[in-house]
A and B are shown apart, each in its own frame.
Chain A
Amino acid sequence: MKRGNGFFIAGLALTGLLAALILLGFFWTPYDPNAMAAGPKFDGPSLAHWMGTDNFGRDIFSRVLKGAGTTASIALATLAIGAVCGCLAGALTGYFGGPVDELLMRLNDALTAFPSILLALVVISILEPGKKRNVILALGLVFIPSFARVSRTAFASLREVNYIKSARLMGASSPRILAVHMLPNTAPVLLPALTIGFNNAVLAEASMSFLGIGVTPPDASLGYMLSEAQGMLFAAPWYAAGTGLVIVWMVFGVGLIGEGLRRRDREVL
């Protein structure tokens, strides 16, 4: 029944390889990512420097490994905040309904009307810009509404299903119904939403750091490096190419996993 499909396997392979590289990057990189003159300045890709070097002679491959780690960990933390709070809000409003549901969902509509980057900008300027923790907090808050909406729909659609009525009749508590009886059956909707959310978080972090309101040195994220690379696009095009490639790799791999999950559930249904 749960036949593996090409999308899922390809996505898993791409993401797994990248995850392994990122994990490796936490412990070991070919050169110190911040060491100046690890090689000659503006050196093109070679066996010694796979992605070349930048204007300070730093090894770009080492920097990309570290930067991908920063970006991925910010995206995961953002996702955790957004998904946990969003699903909780969505589950409660979807299951119980009533005036609170109406109120929260209209608030949700209002929040969704703003572009998410703009909202994150507002939040981060209220907090303190430039700190990794605040970037996560701002993005996490911005991601809550979309998860709330998706999970609300999923939970509300199960509310009147017979097996949920049976669960109520047998005396199961509301938290148990939500967590044990409903949550596993929302997975076909929520898991693809998680993969989309992860990708949006990667891109949002990259955009924010690119605009200079995200991560600041000595932390380097892919977005920050992309904005550095922009300044030397002609002197060191491999910098932008290498960094961009890893962003695309990350988003593409997780996107394939999401597509695979959607197709698998369509087959089961």
Chain B
Amino acid sequence: MSEELVLSLRHVDSGYHDGVGPFGRRERQEVLHDVTFDVRHGEILGLVGESGTGKSTLAKTILGMVKPDRGTVTHYTKRPQMIFQDPYSSLNPFYSVEWTLEEPLRVYGKYEKAERKRRVREMLERVELPGECLGAKPSELSGGQRQRVSIAAALIRRPKFLIADEPVSALDVTIQAQILDLLRSLRRELDLSYLFISHDLNVVYQLCDRVLVMKRGRIVEQGTVEEIFNHPKEAYTKQLLAAAE
């Protein structure tokens, strides 16, 4: 694993607008405090913490959906993508799987129709879905299949960095394992790096190389999976681990 970086955050404070005043005035709610970390090339970096600690705000800040108040977010790859927890709302219900997979390429506008179709089929094979799925609407697919389609759509333009926000939390355990396997093999095949957000420590232990522990908008501890799980230093990390036993 090289030390090349795909993402670095330095002293990032961020938050979101909360509530609308009578004249459109908005109040700023700060959620992240002084967040500093790197994502290295080829690694799966886990981000754990209780719900409400700002994990999703961090993801949004990284992707530019929320502007940081202070600090810098530096991407070393192009077009980072994201997959979401709820596979039911992450696919447009109106369109077929084929349309959804083709759309990022259509938007990009550089490929002929035949080339787009070829890439769609290739990506469908990579996420191990049968060809019949192309014509299906999301409502005809299972949760696991939908998540595979989401992954395929996120990866079809070959990004190098993917944020996965609780991608398996809504799935049953057997399907979870399959999706985690898929994410692992895609990392190898497509030279990917992940930021893997989860509240499920077992999943993080299985999948990740390094872990960030977040509490109330701050990174309280970071280290390799071994360090965090076997030799936690912070009381909060020990508490999280004890709760997961």
Residues of A at the B interface (CB closer than 8 Å) are 98-99, 101-103, 161-163, 165-173, 176, 181, 184-185
Contacts and interface: CB of A to CB of B under 8 A. Distances in A.
Contacts of A163: 89-92
Nearest to A177: B107
Nearest to A100: B24
Contacts of B79: 170-171
Contacts, number: 55
B89 A161 contact: yes
Contacts of B93: 185
Contact of B107 (A102, A161, A162, A171): A171
B203 interface: no
A166 B103 CA distance: 11
A82 to B, nearest CB: 24
Given A162-B86, A170-B157, A185 B65 contact: no
B82 A169 contact: yes
B154 A166 contact: yes
16 contacts: A99-B23, A101-B24, A163-B90, A165-B84, A166-B84, A166-B90, A168-B65, A169-B63, A170-B81, A170-B103, A171-B107, A171-B108, A172-B103, A176-B107, A184-B95, A185-B92
Nearest to A180: B103
Interface in B85-100: 86, 89-95
Contacts of B89: 161-163
Contacts of B157: 170
A184 B95 CA distance: 9
B23 A166 contact: no
A167 B79 CA distance: 12
B114 interface: no
Contact of A102 (B23, B95, B104): B23
Nearest to A185: B94
Contact of B153 (A161, A166, A185): A166
A103 to B, nearest CB: 8
A170 B100 CA distance: 11
A172 B157 CA distance: 13
Contacts of A176: 107
Contacts of B153: 166, 170
A163 B149 CA distance: 12
